[in-house]
Every structure is written in C-alpha cells, then in structure tokens.
Amino acid sequence: MGSQWGRDGYYRKARTEGYRSRAAYKLLDIQKRFQVIRRDDVVIDLGCAPGSWLQVLRGLTDEQVIGIDLNPVPPVEGAVILTGDFTTEYIREKVGAMITEVNVIVCDAAPNFSGNKSFDQARSVGLSEEACDFAVDFLKPGGNFVVKTFHGDMFHLILDKMRRNFYGVKVYRSEAARKGSTEVYIIGKKFKGRRNDSEG
C-alpha cells in the first residue's frame, strides 16, 4: 500500500500543498466542472474524515462549514466538526440547532469494504441513500448535493433517488480517482424540495 501511495501524483501533490489526503483534488475537480458551491453557501460535509474536503470547502465559501464523521477528526480552521453518525436523531438535532438553511451537502464517505464485491456495493449504495435522505431533510430548495458511490448492479437505486429529488443530475468520475476504481460521484443540482421525495 505504501509504495502505491508513494507513486501517486495526487498523493504527493496533497502533501506538498498541505491537504490531508488526495481526495481534496476530487472536490476541487467537481467544483471546477459543476460549480456546486458559491461564496455565500452554508455547507455540510458528511463523512468528513480525514478533513481534506473541509480544507477545500473553507477556501470555497465564506459561510459556515460543518463536518460530520463517526470518528474524531483533527480540527480544521474555520469549520465546525461533529463526531457521530449523521443518520442518528442526536446528530440531526445538533445540526438543526446550529443552522436554519443549508445550501450544499457533500459526502465522500465509503463503508469499510469486506472484499465481497456485491455486499460492498450494496453497503456503498445504502450509505449513499442515507446521505441523500439527510440532504432531503436539510437542504433548502435549489440546493446542491454531491455524493460518492460505486458502479454496480444496485447503482440505479441511488441514481433514481437523486433524479426524484434534484432537477439536474450528473454522474462524474473524477480525474483524481485511482485507476481501476469503480468510484463515481453523483452531482445533484437544484433540490426540488421535500414534497418531491416519493419515499418521504
């Protein structure tokens, strides 16, 4: 693993430019192509560890940035970080007490993989759907949502869910993704509002 990371240009670039992981360039790539975040947007980052997306977000918006992760994340200047499960009522209540409107939600989270391809893909899609549920509950109408998932037999489930809730939906593979990975991002723009979510 160490040799693979050592040869990775994005990994070396992240170390040079002060980002905590190469994933920073995935968000920068998405922002360059889709302009999902504006200077006056309040943004929530689901599954924010190790914090590289928070670092990028702090450079993209002047408004509040909140990160949520199951594990403690070292502080990122200018960001509020909550430790906990974003699917729980406890975290949802904490978020609701902090902000009244959310413009953008991003999620680069992935489950711990077991090596069983179909099982792992199901877990990945399930996590993406939970992130979408969170977005449906907190985004203001017209807001944007970016979520990572993986191609496979169940991919259509999260794609269909996104299309029910956003006027514009694009599937994008970042140039910063590792070769051979089935990782993609679904970008949802212009949230329709909760009344359009057929699953409630």
Dihedral (CA of 103, 58, 75, 30) sign: positive
What pairs with residue 166 in β-bridges?
A: 191
Q: How confident is the model at residue 195 (pLDDT cuts 50, 70, 90)?
A: low
From 148, 161, 189, 190, the catalytic residue: 148
Asked if the model's pLDDT at residue 88 lies above 90, the reply is yes
Asked if the model's pLDDT at residue 31 lies above 70, the reply is yes
pLDDT for the residue numbered 2: 38
Q: How far, in Å, CA of 128 to CA of 146, rounded?
A: 10
CATH number of 2-196: 3.40.50.150
Q: Which of 16, 14, 91 is nearest to 56 (CA)?
A: 14
Torsion of CA 127, 167, 176, 71, to 10 degrees: -30
Q: How confident is the model at residue 200 (pLDDT cuts 50, 70, 90)?
A: very low
Asked if the model's pLDDT at residue 6 lies above 60, the reply is no
Does residue 125 or residue 4 have the better pLDDT? 125
Residue 148 falls in the annotated catalytic set: yes
Q: Whole-prediction pTM value?
A: 0.90
pLDDT one-digit tens code per residue, 149-164: 998 889 999 999 999 9
Instruction: Give mean pLDDT, residues 29-50.
Output: 98
